[in-house]
Amino acid sequence: MRVVVPFAPERPKTRLAPVLDEAERVAFARAMLDDTLSALSTLDRERGVSVDPLVLSTAPLDCDAPVVVDDRSLTEAVNDHVPADDGDAPVAVVMADLALATPDALGRLFEPEADVVIAPGRGGGTNAVVVRAPEFRVDYHGASVRDHREIAREAGLSVAHVDSFRLATDVDEPADLVEVVLHGTGAAAAWLHDAGFSVVTADGRVDIERNSG
Amino acid sequence: MRVVVPFAPERPKTRLAPVLDEAERVAFARAMLDDTLSALSTLDRERGVSVDPLVLSTAPLDCDAPVVVDDRSLTEAVNDHVPADDGDAPVAVVMADLALATPDALGRLFEPEADVVIAPGRGGGTNAVVVRAPEFRVDYHGASVRDHREIAREAGLSVAHVDSFRLATDVDEPADLVEVVLHGTGAAAAWLHDAGFSVVTADGRVDIERNSG
């Protein structure tokens, strides 16, 4: 299945600015993309899921997958790639900042046979979606998980959900780094470790700390 | 399997004080407990999973399950119920504030045959755990998911994880209510709806809003 991975290589992850400078945010975002592509590649090689990745980038980029550059909004750019006609092949869209995604977690996306398969993100997002019907269009603005259910319902399409903490965890804010340090297994977790981040607890609350040494 | 559900009926969910007064927090916490017990009951009746619930409460309580009152710390109280000897039966511990928990999500806890099965919570918590080995003890202080892995590793026990967004979502803060409104299916979601809560989006960000009318 074609798997579209939207990515913004320039000025990524601005909400991480309190803990990472711009060059670090670029490197960390890139590590998360590499983890996603690596997990998809493992699915294809080892799990019998045929995956044909395509990075949909807002700027030119070198990486381990074909790249299409499209600097329009996320919604517009993605909608150029989902099925438009009855004969079109299914397409998956997987965000590039799912730093906990593993081949097992991503593989669950491809199990349900529904017209639309949604992996909700925290805070109302849609972190991954499989689209098998040309009547469906993505709309990433606002509480997209609600809008995507509604778009499918209005078109009479079947919807399945993937209940995954790993796929629900997109990394936008400093608090999200706690999850990467505790549960990450790839390049993004290694990058944070090398940058001196660890998890600390104070008064029973869990937080991220950076070793300045 | 014995399923222990710790619950604090008095002064619950203080971090929800910005949006719910004390009487409301008591009612909402109770709705979440009722949802948990209802989902466990459905598992037992309809899914072939034998569930024997026990509410471990810090104060006397009437509810649809047997209650033991224990006002010690969560860790101490729970450790009185996990297996202590080789012949003891397995025990599950499920938090009472998993407002998205469904029979399907809770049922996944009982699938792996590992000595210890962990459903991580956001922020380093352990939202549910199945304990089959007397060498294991819970420790809910701090980043408990890390500590629980370490306790199991030191005792040479096998560990499995349940990757579930529904089980990872415990409800502590106002932002968590967004998840309940968007994904909840039980009494807690209905309670929030009746109390006037809905999800709104502004500038692409998702937030909770209360209708004062």
Instruction: Please report which residue ranges of A47-175 form alpha helices under DSSP H.
Output: 74-79, 103-107, 144-154, 165-168
**Angstrom distance (rounded) from CA A101 to CA A95:** 10
Over residues A183-196, the mean pLDDT reads 97
| Chain centre to alpha carbon of residue B205 | 27
Nearest to A183 among B120, B166, B199 (CB): B120
* Cβ B40 vs Cβ B51: under 8 Å: yes
Which residue has 């469906």 as its token pair? A136
**Angstrom distance (rounded) from CA B168 to CA B125:** 8
In B, which residues are within 8 Å of A122 by CB distance?
A: 122, 165, 179
Residue B163 burial class via C-beta count within 10 angstroms: exposed 0-12, middle 13-18, buried 19 and up: buried
B interface with A, Cβ–Cβ < 8 A, is: 104-105, 120, 122-125, 141-143, 145-146, 163-168, 175, 178-179, 182-183, 199, 201, 204, 206
Nearest to B206 among A123, A164, A167 (CB): A123
Amino acid at B131: V
Q: A167, B164: Cβ pair inside 8 Å?
A: no
Q: A124, B206: Cβ pair inside 8 Å?
A: yes
**CATH number at B2-173:** 3.90.550.10
Amino acid A45: pLDDT: 96
* Cβ B147 vs Cβ B139: under 8 Å: yes
In A, which residues are within 8 Å of B201 by CB distance?
A: 124, 141-143
* Cβ A56 vs Cβ A40: under 8 Å: no
Helix, strand or coil for residue A127?
Answer: strand
**Crossing angle for the helix pair B187-194 and B176-183, nearest 10 degrees?**
110
Which residue has 């990450």 as its token pair? A184
Structure confidence by residue, pLDDT tens digits, A14-45: 999 999 999 999 999 999 999 999 999 999 99
Helix, strand or coil for residue B38?
Answer: helix
Q: What is the pLDDT along chain B (213 residues), one digit of tens a residue?
A: 999 999 999 999 999 999 999 999 999 999 999 999 999 999 999 999 999 999 999 999 999 999 999 999 999 999 999 999 999 999 999 999 999 999 999 999 999 999 999 999 999 999 999 999 999 999 999 999 999 999 999 999 999 999 999 999 999 999 999 999 999 999 999 999 999 999 999 876 799 999 875
Task: Count other C-beta atoms under 10 Å from residue B32's C-beta.
Answer: 28
**Angstrom distance (rounded) from CA B105 to CA B161:** 13
Amino acid at A131: V
**Angstrom distance (rounded) from CA B98 to CA A109:** 23
Amino acid A4: pLDDT: 98
Residue extents of the structural domains in chain A: 2-173
DSSP code for A99: T
**Angstrom distance (rounded) from CA A165 to CA B79:** 27
**Angstrom distance (rounded) from CA B169 to CA B98:** 6
Residue of chain A minimizing CA distance to B120 = A165
Amino acid A213: pLDDT: 54
Structure confidence by residue, pLDDT tens digits, A105-155: 999 999 999 999 999 999 999 999 999 999 999 999 999 999 999 999 999
ipTM: 0.96
Amino acid B213: pLDDT: 54
Nearest to B142 among A124, A165, A204 (CB): A204
**Angstrom distance (rounded) from CA A65 to CA A7:** 12
Nearest CA among B85, B78, B1 for reference residue B47: B1
Alpha-carbon torsion angle A75, A76, A77, A81, nearest 10: 90
Q: Which residues pair with A14 in a beta bridge?
A: none
Amino acid at B89: A
DSSP code for A204: T
Residue of chain A minimizing CA distance to B167 = A165
Structure confidence by residue, pLDDT tens digits, B154-172: 999 999 999 999 999 999 9
Measured CA to CA in angstroms, residue B139 lies from B67, B76, B136, B145 at distances of: 22, 8, 10, 9
Which of B14, B15, B108, B122 to substitute to test the interface with A, most A CBs within 10 Å?
A: B122
Q: A124, B164: Cβ pair inside 8 Å?
A: no
Kind and range of the H or E run holding B102:
none
Kind and range of the H or E run holding B146:
helix B144-154
B65 to chain A, minimum CA–CA distance in Å? Answer: 27
Q: A120, B206: Cβ pair inside 8 Å?
A: no
**Angstrom distance (rounded) from CA B169 to CA B183:** 11
**Angstrom distance (rounded) from CA A15 to CA B32:** 32
Spatial neighbors of A88 by CB under 8 A, at least 6 apart, are A134
**Angstrom distance (rounded) from CA B204 to CA B208:** 13
Pairing mode of beta strands A67-69, A2-7: unpaired
DSSP E strands in A34-94: the ranges are 52-57, 67-69, 91-94
